[in-house]
Structure 1
Amino acid sequence: MTDRAAFQWDETLYAGSARYYATGRMPYPGEIAELLRTELSLDGRGRLLDVGCGPGSLTLPLAPLFDSVVGVDADPDMLRQAARAAERAGIENVRWHHLRAEELPAGLGTFRVVTFAQSFHWFDRPQVAAAVRPMLASGGAWVHVGATTHRGAPGDDPLPYPRPPHDEVEALVARYLGPVRRAGRSLLPDGTPGGEEEVMRSAGYRGPRRFEVAGGVLRERAEDEVVAGVFSLSYAAPHLFAERRPEFERDLRALLRAVSPTGRFAERTRAVELVVWQP
């Protein structure tokens, strides 16, 4: 029995979302790389494994800290987007592998650092935690990155443009897809699981050490970016709306224009938490 018994993974979890992800999600703060460089004494050597890498949102900013990098993801469209982003950025030390986390170690070898950014909750966590432990080199570290990048922090301080009406957008999604959160072909009535510390300790990890990268950075966002942020979500992936997707997007854009007729929005980023474990 796994801790994800209520959730049956399938390949439609993020189907159609990859093309929206980089546009709709706010980037990870650059301070993450500097914090990890300092706290893990990174010196450009060793290997990084990013599990559930998506379109490389964290993989690519961290790539300069290592000799070589491996990104793995179960969605081939995400990996195609990641490869294109790496090519545009001129980053050549990354290799991409299409596989599920549950397939690890998959002959990938050992790594100085293994990262999970907004991804660990989708996996069979006890299985993956156990599989990754022997993949960590001596002195290596597991880094869990907890973040919310599709929407900013709540607040009422004045900004140059209105904040996106995220609560109203969530209600619109529920109106189309039902009140119970979707996840591929499954439903998540209770959301994704907690209890990460217990999972990690049971798998033999020490720690954790916790760090926070402050939020509060002002981000201006266009209507198209907010729309892309919605379609980047597992519970609002484009395929879930089926033939009603054009209708949903029309209603979504009408809602956004009612709040900001110019189609411009602003919000402040949320803090990002880094949790470091060692075997």
Structure 2
Amino acid sequence: MPDDEPTWSWDPSLYAGSARHYAVGRVAYPPTMVEALVDALSLDGTGTLLDVGCGPGSVILLLAPYVQTAIGVDADPDMLHEAARLAGLRGIDNVEWRRLRAEQLPADLPPARVITLAQSFHWMDRPRVAGILRTMLEPDGALVHVSAETHEGDDPGDVAAPPWAAVEQLVARYLGPRRRAGQGVRPPGRSDENTIYRQAGFHGPQSITVPGWRVQRGVDQIVAALHSLSWAAPHLFGDRLEDFDAELRALLVDSAPDGRFSETMRPIRLDLWR
């Protein structure tokens, strides 16, 4: 890695203060994704689902009704608290929450019929975690790698969409040009997951694409979406958070005086490894 390449190592502050913003700001995965997974995995109300890096339960709460037992694992206690709160609101009672880093698996957890990694694998020691998860998967089970972005859409020229480029410029003015991640900076994008999974003994992938879908959100939801991100987590702004939020809201209202935005979310890719 070049000497000037940003480096990062995990620390507990990665998503500090972000959990409460997820349910408000992140766009929920669409029913079509759930239908695709239930069909592809033949989910019939049996077996164990393990969601690694579950966050506030964005995926596991959608799939829990289709398995016997679901286990959500995350290193952030606030994420797990939010996930449990949402499970209670939805009447979902077959989920167990465990505060663990993925690298600490398998711990005492049982083999899983389905393992999910949704927007989380890039934060982990990927070769190590892939190897661990391979040992935790039942012989006929599947690991699902979910590639998605649920905070913003794919409409750079759409006048109805939030002004994401301007929002990112505002964040950079407060936090600097390199995207933050906990106490360090965000690592560069990595796209060699296929090689890592194969080296761990997985076969595949079977890829499924869920088409993009149109959503509408207001100013509060866009602010929450931004603060749900590691590189704009509330704690990063320190005592300037109130000033930042005031500027952000003014920017959004200036872009859409009625306070409403509409955008098309990017397609979701589901890679199934066996």
Give the alignment's TM-score, normalised by structure 2: 0.95
Aligned mate of 1:225, from 214, 218, 221: 221
Tell me, what secondary structure is at the counterpart of 1:206?
Answer: coil
Amino acid at match of 2:193: E
Deviation at 1:157, TM superposition (A): 5.9
Alignment of 1:174 onto 2:172: yes
Q: Could you tell me which residue of structure 2 aligns to residue 210 of structure 1?
A: 207
Among 192, 195, 199, the residue aligned to 1:195: 192
Question: What letter matches 1:251 in structure 2?
Answer: E
> Where does residue 17 of structure 1 map in the other structure?
18
Cα distance in 2 between the residues matched to 1:192 and 1:74: 21
Q: Secondary structure at the match of 1:39?
A: helix
Equivalent residues of 1:181, 1:191 under 8 A apart: no
For 1:264, the equivalent position in structure 2 comes to 260
Within 1, Cα distance between the matches of 2:47 and 2:158?
Answer: 44
Matches within 5 A, 1:70-109: 70-109=71-110
The amino acid that maps onto 2:69 is S
Tell me which amino acid in the other structure corresponds to 1:249: D
Q: Which runs of 5+ in 1 are unaligned?
A: none
How many angstroms apart in 2 are the aligned matches of 1:192 and 1:200? 17
**C-alpha distance in structure 1 between counterparts of 2:42 and 2:235, whole Å:** 43
Per-residue CA deviation, residues 92-119 of structure 1 (Å, 9 max, x unaligned), is 1001011111100011010000000000
Alignment of 1:6-155 (within 5 A): 6-154=7-155
CA-to-aligned-CA distance 1:128-160 (integer Å, 9 cap, x gap): 0011111101110000001000001215467xx
Residue 219 of structure 1: how far off its partner (Å): 1.2
* Partner Cα distance (2:89, 2:179) in 1: 35
| Residue 42 of structure 1: how far off its partner (Å) | 1.6
Runs ≥4 in structure 1, deviation > 3 angstroms? 155-158
Between the two proteins, what is the percent identity of the paired residues? 53
Q: Assess if the C-alpha contact under 8 Å between 2:158 and 2:263 holds in 1.
A: no
Q: What residue number does 2:3 align with? A: none
Q: How far has the Cα of 1:36 moved from its partner?
A: 1.4
Please report the RMSD computed on the Cα atoms of aligned residues, expressed in angstroms. Answer: 1.3
User: What is the TM-score normalised by the length of structure 1?
Assistant: 0.94
| Structure-2 separation of matches of 1:157 and 1:256 | 15
Q: Which of 249, 252, 268 is 2:248 aligned to? A: 252
Q: Counterparts of 2:197 and 2:158 in 1: how far apart (Å)? A: 39
How many residue pairs match? The answer is 269
Q: Give, as a single letter, the amino acid of the residue that structure 2 aligns with 1:36.
A: L
Distance 2:222 2:71 in 1: 30
